[in-house]
Amino acid sequence: MKNSAPSKGWHTIHPADMRRKELMNVGARLFVRNGIDKATTDDIVIEAVNLKSTFYHYFKSRNELVDAWRERFSTHIREQTQVAREAMSDGDWNGKPRAWVSTPIPVPSVMA
């Protein structure tokens, strides 16, 4: 019997961290596409093919999701900057600001 991937939706069983991450990823796509102020909780729930109760299980509000997404984005940038700094030789003081400036800023919707 061929094992096919389950369809995306509310009936699919996901571990909790995967559901939360999926909601954050959908939120990020909508924030980039529509703007943070225009992306609604309903938009996120519809795009994620989830129930509204699922959203509120992981986030108390849309603003809490926005805060979590901003924290994930900031953490990612700090990690990328740290990698660039660690690649420099000791004593390369000119390289530190160069590493900060040259660290690419990712497109938020692809930070899965």
Domains of the chain, earliest start first: 15-102 (1.10.357.10)
The distance from CA 91 to its chain's CA centroid, rounded to whole angstroms, is 35
pLDDT exceeds 90 at position 81: no
Of 35, 32, 28, 38, the closest CA to residue 65 belongs to 28
Of 80, 84, 89, 79, the closest CA to residue 99 belongs to 84
What is the model's pLDDT at position 110? 42
What is the model's pLDDT at position 73? 86
- Residues 6 and 87 sit within 8 Å (Cβ to Cβ): no
User: In terms of pTM, does the model score above 0.75?
Assistant: no
- Residues 23 and 55 sit within 8 Å (Cβ to Cβ): yes
Q: Give the burial class of 63: count Cβ atoms within 10 A of its Cβ; 0-12 exposed, 13-18 middle, 19 or more buried.
A: exposed
Quote the percentage of the chain above a pLDDT of 70: 66
